[in-house]
Structure 1
């Protein structure tokens, strides 16, 4: 509470709650000087609520990410300090918002470079969480064969069969309408085409788990880490999708 009581920090985490951003984007969004934004980002990083990663497109740039799980844990601990009953924190996928009816099926597209690991894992995990009103697809700017480690990790960790995935070029989908387009690769974000309906672009800066040396064990460890990160982000995404696509009468009530 002390960390977030500063108004600009509160606005910062609000900007980072939906997707990862660079400092320049935060400066524009908040209308604040860059040195002030950078100072408060350092405070949030020191407090463990925000993480940073160098862009794979331009290593001079840094993407900042809000750790929603850490925020939820910290808020739950704060509540517990006030009253034990306030320590309860449900799984974000088990909420009234996530189970309310939606106007129609929600279409989500995940993009990365090769469509060989990150984006097919993300689409499979979104489908896995079982919301009948969500359609998930994936594509890449330079499609490559599905990484065998991605198949192993999803089968062993989540019981998901990814073997029938076929690489898809993003340009084959540009005429289709999606409600949400989520880029997982810093390089793809820079070349992402416009889609019908102009869905707001969302960016999650996820490192490429296939760009690693050390053999299958090291590769699978990297893939497991990325799958866990994507699983966490997707669990927090579902209530947002449900809330934004509820019938108007549901929203008003």
Structure 2
């Protein structure tokens, strides 16, 4: 199963989601990320955070949703802007869910405050990914309606 973490810039949250998911995912599950208006670069604080957490970030790069290496089965939007956008037609009948996370790239001020915002975004995404991966995935792959319900629940209930 291919999971796409989608946001507007594909420089922070979606990158954190992709790398964290791939770090934790069982065999047969893979994440990728993209943006509707990619910045073209991964935010250096995202890469630094992933490195501190021991999560590989090789291959993570800011790209458009029309440059995906595979067609996603599940699209998880992680920002308010992307949630309201229509996915391109080529994505077909994919399952969509929204896990909104505040964009740490918009935080200003002291380095400590900015780093804290990145860590908060990471912790929220990691908790949601862990909840996703704790689901009975093999069973839910056969029950798409229930999987959709569970993914929406995770996005709504967790911080």
So what's the TM-score if we normalise by structure 2?
Answer: 0.79
So what's the TM-score if we normalise by structure 1?
Answer: 0.51
Separation in 2, partners of 1:166, 1:230: 18
CA pair 230-198 structure 1, distance change in 2 beyond 3 A:
same
Is 1:155 aligned to residue 63 of structure 2?
no
Separation in 1, partners of 2:80, 2:17: 16
Kindly indicate whether the alpha-carbon contact (under 8 Å) linking 1:111 and 1:188 is maintained by their aligned counterparts in 2. Answer: yes
Runs (4+) of structure 1 moved beyond 6 Å?
Answer: none
Please say which structure displays the higher CA radius of gyration. Answer: 1
The aligned residue for residue 78 of structure 2 is 184
Is 1:136 aligned to residue 31 of structure 2?
yes
What is the CA-CA distance between 1:219 and the residue it aligns to? 1.4
What is the CA-CA distance between 1:177 and the residue it aligns to? 2.5
The aligned residue for residue 228 of structure 1 is 123
The aligned residue for residue 145 of structure 2 is none
Residue segments in structure 1 that go unaligned for 5+ positions in a row: 1-105, 247-253
What is the CA-CA distance between 1:214 and the residue it aligns to? 1.0
CA pair 183-108 structure 1, distance change in 2 beyond 3 A:
same
What is the CA-CA distance between 1:223 and the residue it aligns to? 0.5
The aligned residue for residue 216 of structure 1 is 111
CA pair 195-176 structure 1, distance change in 2 beyond 3 A:
farther
Kindly indicate whether the alpha-carbon contact (under 8 Å) linking 1:149 and 1:216 is maintained by their aligned counterparts in 2. Answer: no
Residue segments in structure 2 that go unaligned for 5+ positions in a row: 143-159
Is 1:242 aligned to residue 135 of structure 2?
no
- Computed over aligned residues only, the root mean square deviation of the Cα atoms, in angstroms, reads 2.1
Separation in 1, partners of 2:71, 2:59: 24
